[in-house]
Amino acid sequence: MRGQRLERFVAFWTLVFIRIVTGLAGEGRSVWKKDPHFSPVSDTQIFLYDTFPKDFLWGAGTGAFQVEGSWGKDGKGSSIWDHFIHSEFRDADSTDASSDSYTLLDKDLSALEFLGVTFYQFSISWSRLFPTGVVAAPNEKGLRYYNTLIDSLLYRNIEPVVTLYHWDLPLMLQEKYGGWKNESVIDIFNDYATFCFQTFGERVKYWITIHNPYLIAWHGYGTGIHAPGERGKITTVYSVGHNLIKAHAKVWHNYRKRFQPYQKGMMSIVLGSHWIEPNKSEDALDISKCQQSMERVLGWFAKPIHGDGDYPEELKNEFLFLPRFTEGEKNYIKGTADFFAFSFGPNNFKPPNTLPKMGQNLSLDLREVLNWIQLEYNSPRILIAENGWFTDSHVKADDTTAIYMMKNFINKVLQAVKYDNIDVFGYTAWSLLDGFEWQHAHNIRRGLFYVDFQSEKKERIPKSSALYYKQIIQDNGFYPKESTPSLQAQFSCDFSWGITESVLKAESMASSPQFCDPSLYLWNVTGDGLLHKVKGVKLKTRPAQCTDFVSIKKQLDLLEKMKVSHYRFALDWSLILPNGDLSVVNRQVLRYYRCVVSEVLKLNVQSMVTLYYPTHAYLGLPGPLLQTGGWLNRSTAYAFQDYAALCFQELGDLVKLWITINEPNRLGDIYNRSSNDTYQAAHNLLIAHAMAWKIYDEQYRSFQHGKVSLSLHSDWAEPANPYSESHSKAANRFLQFEIGWFADPIFKTGDYPAAMREYIDFKARKGLSRSSLPSFTSEEKQLIEGAADFYALNHFTTRFVIHEPQNGSQYEFDRDIQFLQDITCLSSPSRLAVVPWGLRKVLRWIRKNYGDIDIYITANGIDDQSLDNDELRNYYLGKYVQEILKAYYLDKVKIKGYYAFKLTEEKSKPRFGFFTSDSKGKPSIKFYNNLISNNGFPADHSACGPSNQEKQCSFCLFVSQKKPLIFFACCLFSTLILLLTIIVFHKRKRRKRFKAKSIWGICVSF
């Protein structure tokens, strides 16, 4: 008994060890069990800039029926697809168009050479070699074509990867035998394969028996959307699948026994699948459903061939009618693949209602499915035998979305190779050419090369995706777009580190009035729990103090934790001047804002004050100005001038940096009734800013010594398609319409960008819009030009821009652009792409266009859902500040300060804040503290030590912050001294009395 127990114990732990080290089949479900401490910014999750192994294979693929054409030419027999399209497709004649690869082979070879691929995966048309499907004397012209193709590939050092069957079964085999429903076809297929091995085997080292048998069985004999178009019983579907597996196994054994020993080739079967994610990753039932979904599609064929020779248990239990393999067949079938050939493309996801989703979510995460394959089938070598996506039929060479799909797919493969140690040895982009796309006919395109099917020459025109794929092949992976390494350096010692807040809502009266009210109160006299004033009693009070405002105390506490040198916040115009003019001035609100500035100064923090901070939800104009048209009325600009002058007068002695208007280039979202409304509002905003700047320049600068500008939303624009000239023009047009619209008049010419005006006029002349930019008078140009002391920008992301012609009189339509979301970019919950190098580019663009001016980054940040571990914000801050340092250090951009956005988040809005709405701090505070204390990214130690004045100020700061404690300590110390004095005095008095008594006693005794 002991011996048996010991054996079991050893066997158990041996099994555990093997599972840990190598993994065993059937462990796929662990892919969905996510780490609760998963980091969105982990190096293993974000886009990977790296290369594939040196011997990695790059290829392109096609299917014979899709691209060869010449379906009734040179003795070719009919296939089930020839019959299917002419009987089932309404416009059968249109399906006869093709890429005509059979007659235009040289053009295909040139396309392959252009890409620089190492292999070409193509299929042999069974009915082109043997018109009836039965092996007899081959069709000589068909045989000559495939011999020429293989020889031409080898001549160009391109390895042929040959598929024996890609869905085009000879029609006679369908009509005579019922196609793959009949086991007789297995032997006929083996005969056909034998001929191919005998004829081409010396030159072919990679063979595929059948391409995606799941689709053959499911759609050919189940849904009927593929040839032969049978809508049979579910039992027929699984019977066909059963025969396909046995056909593959027979051909594999045939090759292994008779040809592989001297031809030295390898063979597999292409298995295709979707991928699926659970609704809840922590829900075991959802995970089980995902596992079932994968087993019903991929596992149906993969487990017999790559596993134990039998169907998944779940499938057998669910479908009792499932055909059964004998023990001999299981042993014969298992292991009949020299590598795992995997297909992951749109055909595996469409139509979605035919997939066993089990109530879970479809996903395009290629890395995850590769991990599932590795765990489920014991780490096989994998060839991505089909991958790519599709575009609509009207898309020609500019297939921008295909670039991003390819970028995402290939990078997922790279991550799987580098991080997950998955043995992927090759990748097949699908497909080389536009062709016939099965049930979609020519309504979609999947080619790397565009083909006009109706043209005579049918030239292969490289699409953007072909150019992109060519670059990937040349690089053998991905090189970073911005290759400048991280800097170890610091900003100047007077660099401003700030934090931005939006509008501060002023308190109309002090929140802590207890020191200002002279009355005496008694509490709970009548048992009601209330305070009752004692009549006729007045107490001495102290003067009102700024810290009586509770909200100011709270801000000071938050700012002290941020350790910034500057604080940017906005005033509320409508509270200060409720009537919009100087007839009513709310002095209490002005006092509140002055208190904010003065108290912040005591923390040694300077204020950057924004006069006007409109948002989508709150335009921020006084009510009377709104009623008269707001910024569509020129009088609002004059009202703003008066408001600005009042603020300069009341706060200017304490404020050295002013922002007149925050993001006026985004007010078009509000004044959007027509483009002309948008442009008129912008026109008045520019004049309002310029008049405010002039007032300060003429009346206050000489003794207040401050600086004034406006903050522009300045996201960078990158052409979505780097190979498209129209996208490059669109990106530049976006910058002109978004930034140049306000920056050109102020920092350059006094007028709108010429490119913007010309484009709007061009569209108007074409009758595409009725838009028109207003004109400045010569006096207005003189007023506006140079009306800023620095450039202030708010930057959050980079936009990927597409040229998209649009008609209509709207600001958005005038630009003729659309935005594309790069799915490979790290993004925030609000879909802000994290593209750090975009900030450096926009800073260089500003310097190039507007000269060597001082620049303040007045808002930069990202939303992060996490409250207790905002790693995304840390990552964002570190990467973006690094790019700012490069612009400062390498590009010589005069960056004077950086303000992180923002201090506190707002309820029910994206979480941009370092503090929650209830003032709870987040970990990113410490990260930003370190950036500030290091003044960048120093190599060893800080070059900026605190000056004597700063040290003195630090002492002053300590005193000002600890006044109550110091006062209490002084009182305590004074009381202690007084108490000690009294004690000493009494002791001395007692001693004198004692001496006197002693002397008197002596005298009496004498």
Burial of residue 990, with CB atoms counted within 10 A of its CB: 0-12 exposed, 13-18 middle, 19 or more buried: exposed
The answer to whether 51 and 296 have CB atoms below 8 angstroms apart is: no
* Chain segment 433-468, per-residue pLDDT in tens: 999 999 999 999 999 999 999 999 999 999 999 999
What percent of the chain is helix, strand and coil (3-state, nearest 5)?
45, 15, 40
Instruction: Report the pLDDT value the prediction gives residue 251, as an integer from 0 to 100.
Output: 98
From residue 14, how far is each of 9, 11, 17, 18, 528 by CA, in Å?
8, 5, 5, 6, 76
The pLDDT of residue 366 is above 60: yes
For residue 204, is pLDDT > 60? yes
As a whole number, mean pLDDT of residues 847-852 equals 97
Q: Specify whether the CB–CB gap between 714 and 795 falls below 8 A.
A: yes
Tell me what pLDDT residue 993 has: 62
Lowest mean pLDDT among 709-718, 835-844, 991-1000: 991-1000
What phi and psi, each to the nearest 5 degrees, are found at residue 625? Answer: -70, -35
457 close to 464: Cβ distance less than 8 angstroms? no
Burial (CB count <10 Å: 0-12, 13-18, 19+), residue 253? middle
Distances (CA, A) of 715 to 270, 486, 851: 45, 22, 19
Mean pLDDT of 145-156: 98
- Phi, psi of 823, deg, nearest 5: -70, -15
Q: Is the pLDDT of residue 1001 over 60?
A: no
Mean pLDDT of the residues in the chain: 91
* Spatial CA neighbour of 835 closest among 880, 900, 870: 880
Bridge partners of residue 250, in order along the sequence: none
**CB within 8 A of 982, min separation 6: which ones?**
none
Q: Quick check: 77 pLDDT over 80?
A: yes
In the chain, the amino acid numbered 657 is L
The residue-averaged pLDDT of 121-150 equals 97
Strands (E), 795-928: 798-803, 817-820, 855-860, 895-901
Q: What's the confidence (pLDDT) of residue 974?
A: 77
Q: Is the pLDDT of residue 988 over 90?
A: no
Question: Where in 468-550 does DSSP place strands (E)?
Answer: 489-490, 496-503, 519-523, 531-538
Q: Mean pLDDT, to the nearest integer, of 631-649?
A: 97
For residues 413 and 409, give the distance between their C-alpha atoms in angstroms, rounded to a whole number: 6
pLDDT(25) > 80: no
Identity of the amino acid at 146: Y
Q: How far is 723 from 719, CA to CA, in rounded Å?
A: 9
| pLDDT given at position 536 | 79
Give residues with Cβ within 8 angstroms of 258, minimum separation 6: 194, 197
Whether residue 839 has pLDDT greater than 60:
yes
Helix (H, G, I), strand (E, B) or coil at 44: coil
Angle at 927 between CA 923 and CA 929, to 5 degrees: 110
**Cα–Cα distance between 116 and 122 in angstroms, integer?**
16
pLDDT in tens, 232-260: 889 999 999 999 999 999 999 999 999 99
pLDDT over 70 (residue 512): no
Question: For 414, how many CA atoms within 13 A lie in the half-sphere containing its CB?
Answer: 26
pLDDT at 999: 52
The pLDDT value given to residue 939: 85
Between 640 and 953, whose confidence is greater? 640
For 571-618, what is each residue's pLDDT tens digit? 999 999 999 999 999 999 999 999 999 999 999 999 999 999 998 888
pLDDT at 35: 79
Tokens at 490, concatenated = 């610091």
pLDDT digits (tens, 9 = 90+) for 346-360: 999 999 888 999 999
Residue 498: CB partners within 8 Å, gap ≥ 6?
564, 565, 566, 567, 568, 608, 858, 897, 898, 899, 900
Question: Angle, to 10 degrees, between the axis of helix 924-934 and the axis of helix 550-562?
Answer: 60
pLDDT at 24: 47
Nearest to 593 by CA among 575, 580, 613: 575
pLDDT tens-digit series, residues 902-928 = 999 988 889 999 999 999 999 999 999
User: What is the mean pLDDT of the segment spanning 643-660?
Assistant: 98
What CA–CA distance (Å, rounded) separates 45 from 40? 7
Beta strands 489-490 and 936-937: pairing type?
Answer: antiparallel
More confidently predicted of 278 and 10:
278
Stretch 155-177: mean pLDDT, rounded? 98
First to last CA, the chain: 113
Q: From its phi and psi, is residue 6 left (phi > 0), alpha (psi between -120 and 50) or beta?
A: alpha
Residue of 978 and 363 predicted with greater confidence:
363
Q: Token pair for residue 14?
A: 């041996």
* Least confident window among 507-521, 867-881, 887-901: 507-521
